[in-house]
Amino acid sequence: MENKRLQVKQPKYQKIAADIASRIVEKKYLVGEKIYARSSLASQYGVSAETSRRAIAVLQDLEIVEATKGSGVVIKSYEKAAQFVQQFLEVQSIHQVQIEIMESIKRQKEELNILQETTERLVSRTERFKSVNPFVPFQVEVKDDSPYISQSIGSINFWQNTMATVVGIRRGDEIMVSPGPYATFQTNDIIYFIGNDESIERVQNFLYPNNAPTDAK
């Protein structure tokens, strides 16, 4: 059976934040200038008001803009905008390399078979690697009995409660990498996270408190 190809992408709000930062770098927006209200941004980019709000929140967290009630959104830092754009482009370059590798694998069936065999060997040794390498990700599925459906990573204090860092979310045939604190959990999502050997139990107990052992502390 042929495997479905995963589309690797970043959340829309991060792309919008990067586009606004690019306009600052290109001096289409100047420091001290007031830009569109969130509702206008939502219309301009064809997204929901919530997505627009998250984009502005990212820029505010990075101290690129300042958003205050009644005063709109004001450009605060050219330098931090340039730094964010550079980081975003580096991630985009990594995504492009991933796409090229996947296309190469598709064209070369022989190499795909070798890769599958190698992957199987790596999977069989994953548990051993996890004990010595904290950067091998764990994964857990979000089911509909979790109380955190549609809540963001930041709002539920995921890291503070689990000491685990979310590095990706798979939703259907797409993977969001480095989703950030404003990404939400949805039913059937696969969450990829890193941490120590106790992280998987802590995350399971946190996502499904009703199933946690009664003596868990």
In 62-188, which residue ranges form alpha helices assigned H by DSSP?
78-107, 109-124, 126-132, 158-162
Contact 49, 39 (CB under 8 A): yes
The pair of three-digit structure tokens given for residue 17, joined into one six-digit string: 């934040």
Q: What is the pLDDT of residue 2?
A: 46
Rounded Cα–Cα distance for residues 124 and 9 (Å)? 28
CATH number at residue 70: 1.10.10.10
**Phi-psi label, residue 63: left if phi above 0, alpha if psi -120 to 50, beta otherwise:** left
Residue 125 lies in a domain: no
- The pLDDT tens digits for 134-188 are 567 889 999 999 999 999 999 999 999 999 999 999 998 888 988 989 999 999 9
**Domain total for the chain?**
2
Residue 105 lies in a domain: no
Residue 187 lies in a domain: yes
Domain boundary among 32, 59, 81: 81
Least confident window among 21-25, 92-96, 181-185, 213-217 = 213-217
Domain that holds residue 63: 12-81
Give the pTM: 0.50
Domain boundary among 66, 81, 96: 81
Contact 204, 36 (CB under 8 A): no
For residues 65-86, average pLDDT: 86
Residue of 123, 139, 134 lying closest to 200 (CA atoms): 139
The pair of three-digit structure tokens given for residue 8, joined into one six-digit string: 């690797």
Residue 89 lies in a domain: no
CATH number at residue 152: 3.30.70.1450
Residue 195 lies in a domain: yes
Domain boundary among 57, 81, 105: 81
> What is the four-CA torsion angle of 106, 130, 208, 163, rounded to 10 degrees?
-120
Q: What is the pLDDT of residue 137?
A: 85
For residues 87-96, average pLDDT: 70
How wide is the angle at C-alpha 150 spanned by C-alphas 147 and 152, nearest 5°?
Answer: 95
Residue 3 lies in a domain: no
How far CA 83 is from CA of 14, 79, 90, 124, 149, in Å, comes to 14, 6, 11, 40, 33
Contact 89, 19 (CB under 8 A): no
Contact 199, 162 (CB under 8 A): yes
Contact 164, 158 (CB under 8 A): yes
